[in-house]
Amino acid sequence: MEPRETIIEVRGLVNRFGDHVVHDGLDLDVHRGEVLGVVGGSGTGKSVLLRSIVGLIRPAAGTVRAFGQDVTAGRQKGAAVQTRWGVMFQDGALFSSLTVRQNVEAPMRELMDLPADLRRGLADLKISMVGLKPVARDNYPSELSGGMRKRAGLARALALDPEIVFLDEPTAGLDPIGASEFDELIRRLQQAMGLTVFMVTHDLDSLHAICDRIAVLAERKVLVTGTMREMLEVDHPWVHEYFHGPRARAAQASA
């Protein structure tokens, strides 16, 4: 097997809010081309981990290297990697006063110097790639269904042709059919674009359907990483319950 390239390397990460320690010496590698599912109980710091990797939270200690650059060192250095990743927040986090197209154009406006017609063409391409009809381009977020808003959020995350996308609970709030369509979309885009995907999720079906590897957050760190098959062997109470509980059995049966 070829050695795997690590594109995100988190070492010794410490995050705390007041005296509440969320992460205490967390290590994690993300490999190029994989779909990594990040799971953990509520409040274990999955979103905080995502936000500290993309520079929205400055950790109390530890380092995050992205594409070989230390992105914890300061905003200046981090700016260079911002075009290499895209982020989709939990509810899509779209700008409510902008249309879908304007939302997708926003990262291009901020970080690239493109003529308006090219920017618009690229935005429309991304909108069609996520399966939204052309008519949705001029809609405002409030005019879209939850599933469409998520697709629009994904189109915005893809705006700059990133190498990695960070998705925070992409299927939360979708009905089962919508959720599996969204999984399928992520898998197709990942294969077509050679994307790496970092996905925080509670969705056991998504873990089965599209994740190459899973990282479990517990006890203020990444307790274990591995394939779904490896997760089934882990002898830790929470991990065992999560991957063997009734919902896990149902997801396994339908995978």
Residue with smaller CB distance to ligand ATP, 37 or 45: 45
Cβ 172 to ligand ATP shortest distance, Å: 9
Cβ 40 to ligand ATP shortest distance, Å: 5
Quick one: residue 206, left, alpha or beta (phi over 0 = left, psi -120 to 50 = alpha)? alpha
Task: Please answer whether residues 104 and 155 qualify as being in contact, where contact means their C-beta atoms are separated by less than 8 angstroms.
Answer: yes
Span of 35-43, 117-125, 144-152, 237-245 interacting with ligand ATP by CB under 6 A: 35-43
Residue with smaller CB distance to ligand ATP, 51 or 126: 51
Single-letter residue type at 114: L
Residue with smaller CB distance to ligand ATP, 42 or 96: 42
74 scored as a contact of ligand ATP (CB under 6 A): no
**Given 30, 46, 174, 183, the residue binding ligand ATP (CB under 6 A):** 46
Cβ 243 to ligand ATP shortest distance, Å: 17
Cβ 46 to ligand ATP shortest distance, Å: 4
Cβ 171 to ligand ATP shortest distance, Å: 13
**Given 4, 43, 188, 250, the residue binding ligand ATP (CB under 6 A):** 43
Cβ 136 to ligand ATP shortest distance, Å: 28
58 scored as a contact of ligand ATP (CB under 6 A): no
206 scored as a contact of ligand ATP (CB under 6 A): no
In whole angstroms, what is the distance from residue 214 CA to residue 160 CA?
26
Span of 44-52, 105-113, 123-131, 190-198 interacting with ligand ATP by CB under 6 A: 44-52
Residue with smaller CB distance to ligand ATP, 12 or 33: 12
**Given 44, 72, 171, 196, the residue binding ligand ATP (CB under 6 A):** 44
User: Which 3-state string (H, E, C) describes the chain?
Assistant: CCCCCEEEEEEEEEEEECCEEEEEEEEEEEECCCEEEEEECCCCCHHHHHHHHCCCCCCCEEEEEECCEECCCCHHHHHCCHHHEEEECCCCCCCCCCCHHHHHHHHHHHHCCCCHHHHHHHHHHHHHHCCCCHHHHHCCHHHCCHHHHHHHHHHHHCCCCCCEEEEECCCCCCCHHHHHHHHHHHHHHHHHHCCEEEEECCCHHHHHHHCCEEEEEECCEEEEEECHHHHCCCCCHHHHHHHHCHHHHHHHHHC
Residues 2-21 that bind ligand ATP (CB under 6 A): 17
Binding site for ligand ATP (CB under 6 A): 17, 22, 40, 42-48
